[in-house]
Amino acid sequence: MSKIKGKAPGKIIIFGEHAVVYNKPGISAAINQTFYSLAEIEEGKGNKVEIISDKYGKASKSKEEIEKIYKFIEELRENQRYEEIKNLPKKEPLVPFFAILGKFLEEGNEFKPCTAKISSKVGKNLGSSASVFNAFSIAYAEFLGIKIEKEKLAAYANEGDRVVHVFPSGIDAFTIAYGGFCFYRKDEGVKPLEIKQEIPLLVIDSLEPARTGETVTKIRMLKEKKSKLVNEILEELERITLEGLKGLKSMDLEKIGECMLEYYKKLKTLGISTEKLDKIVRIAIENKAYAKPTGGWGGGICIVLAERERVKKLEEIYKNLGFRVLEVNLGAEGTKIEK
């Protein structure tokens, strides 16, 4: 059998970060496959699955070892020992991949020894973990001869994210599996949107790590102390997201941009922005463009929307100020087998 290649993009949250935790809507999109993850699988020589990662080294497990890992993780979940799950990848970085394999086995699929080489160009804050798990899951399914639907593919990929992030919303794994644009609400799950056109965007890395855990905790504590204030802000964020959705459906870039700025200003009142994130947004406004942080805030990245003729100028400005810049397209193709 020739080598099988699974390819998966990264993703961006356009609207909804933090609000989705409280069952408010979110909108996400896959980004063009210049920045992608690749899983290459070929038949193995022994009785194990060997995983070789460009970032985390290599490890190999037999069927019995994989089943044992999966059972152990399930027992940790049942006993609510979530911190122990979170620490598993720190001890053995490739354990999420074996958890995915355990899910395949648990659902009655056969075990086939193989070698899987994993590589990724998807950076942090762009769905990096969900991207490699999608690429691996689709390649392994193809290796087994299984044709899986996008929803099932996303569920396998999210199994890996459940080890890395413990309580992932699923928006990363599903957006990357489906591609295009997706609408998310916690109690409804992820739904693909019928938007066919791609949107050019700049991703500006503040070079500060996103402090998602801290910012999520901060908002939760604020909500406990000042529930009326935070609930009003969350309601406003929902309104803005739904307005942004209208802009996306009509491809009204000005409306999308105005909603981005409005979302930024409203969420910023909860004290989770930083000087660098504010500077990135300010530069965009000064150059007749739109911007907002995305992901966890407290650092991390911003997305910048501008008319095409302003993109290169903005890119140069941000680079000269020491920021890292990526030019991407929103609404790209989802996870696929590379022929």
Could you report the per-residue pLDDT of 30-84, keeping only the tens digit for each?
998 678 999 999 998 889 999 999 999 999 999 999 999 999 999 999 999 999 9
pLDDT tens readout for residues 254-284:
999 999 999 999 999 999 999 999 999 999 9
Query: Cα 171–83–205 angle (5° rounding)?
Result: 45
The ranges assigned to domains in the chain are: 4-196, 199-330
Q: Is the pLDDT of residue 328 over 70?
A: yes
pLDDT band at residue 177 under the 50/70/90 scheme: very high
Cα–Cα distance for residue pair 98/59, rounded to 1 Å? 10
Average pLDDT of span 277-305: 95
CATH of segment(s) 199-330: 3.30.70.890
Q: Are 31 and 12 in contact (CB under 8 A)?
A: yes
Cα–Cα distance for residue pair 47/52, rounded to 1 Å? 16
Per-residue pLDDT at 305: 96
Cα–Cα distance for residue pair 29/112, rounded to 1 Å? 34
pLDDT tens readout for residues 78-92:
999 999 998 999 999
Tell me what percent of the residues of the chain surpass a pLDDT of 70.
99
Helix (H, G, I), strand (E, B) or coil at 145: coil
Task: Pick 4-196's CATH classification: 3.40.710.10, 2.60.120.10, 3.40.50.2300, 3.30.230.10.
Answer: 3.30.230.10
pTM of the model: 0.91
Mean pLDDT of the chain: 93
Q: Is the pLDDT of residue 132 over 70?
A: yes
Q: Are 335 and 179 in contact (CB under 8 A)?
A: yes
Per-residue pLDDT at 166: 86
Q: Is 123 exposed, middle or buried (0-12, 13-18, 19+ CB in 10 A)?
A: middle
Q: Is the pLDDT of residue 104 over 70?
A: yes
Average pLDDT of span 193-220: 89
Helix (H, G, I), strand (E, B) or coil at 194: coil
